[in-house]
Structure 1
Amino acid sequence: MQEHKLLKSNLKTTEVLPLLLSSSAGYCLHFYCSKLSYESVLFLIKPVAYVVGFILGSNCVNIADEGFFLPQLEILIDKSCSGYNFWSVCIFMLTYLCFTKIAKLQIKCFAFLLLLPITYLLTLFVNTIRIISCISTAKLGLMFSENYQGIIHEVTGLANTVVFLLLFYFAFGKIINYSKYAH
């Protein structure tokens, strides 16, 4: 019996170690970040809250240990809105790409150091879009019962996250493939 093409693995043995390392590190970072206090994730929440407030025309009030309240919109941007899940996945997804596609170790290390600020900025951008999208869909979702508001909020956030992760994966993959440092 012949194995189906989709079930056949194209993973090379040289990609297994980076995959295991980046996946393990990503899981550890995710677990660590989920235990962080509100103050520990302010570097992710604060800039996004102020940009969302600016774009949507609302003041932004910091409520200690809770989050940023936008009174005109009647929303609270708290720790759960920080984007640390996206950031951890993005870091290790792009690290995996770098370590499997770039030939020279020095360039891999340099690329990793560049990924930290790049993924931070990407996270702020995507998180701002995600929150604005959730606010917009919540306004549209007023026609639905309150039972569905949470589901609509979660699906909107998930869709934004998945779409941007795929875009970044393919874009960075193309950039690396067309660079002179690729395998």
Structure 2
Amino acid sequence: SVSQAEEQPRSLVARKSLKSCYKLYFKCGPFIYKDRHRRNIRNRAYNIFMKNKFKKAMRVILRYTAELEYGDTKPESKEQVMSEVKDGMDRAFLAIDEAAVQGVVNPLQAADLKDRLTLGLLKAMVKKKLMKRPKDPFVPAFKSIGYEMPVYKRTRDPRPWQLPGWKSAWMLYREYRRWKEQKETA
């Protein structure tokens, strides 16, 4: 019945397509979707790809932070923790900055994500007694832990489909036919 179909969760394919552009679900056939819908799917796939890129880099740091805070590891000093985490933090911060510059993530959300990484590391180091909690609560966490943020110097790149060589001859021919039909009707 209809009520049973509404209560069932989405299929696994549909759920995976919401999180990964590699498993986006498409209908069969080249002309099933209208042009606007195809562009929407393409843009969504690009955004999912960019988000997955920085989430994967963040996950490494968050797992290390959780292991440091709740696990059995006992580093000797704050400097040892920072030397282990520095490369991963740089990678995550640059990936977040890239997503923000490309317009995939709001810059304020990007700042919150960076703060989440540094604040988690600060809390873990305070819990392990590698450092004391800063007296001023308004000092940013990255300054408290002694982390120097990398500077992202790139500007917004064009999307891949805006570069020459993206469209095949058949795509160009289909655009030409569509343009010709619009010209004849006008």
> TM-score scaled to structure 2, two decimals?
0.28
Q: Which has the higher contact order (CA 8 A, sep 6+)?
A: 1
Larger radius of gyration: 2
Bigger share in strand: 1
TM-score (norm 1): 0.28
Whichever structure has more helix as a proportion of its residues is 1
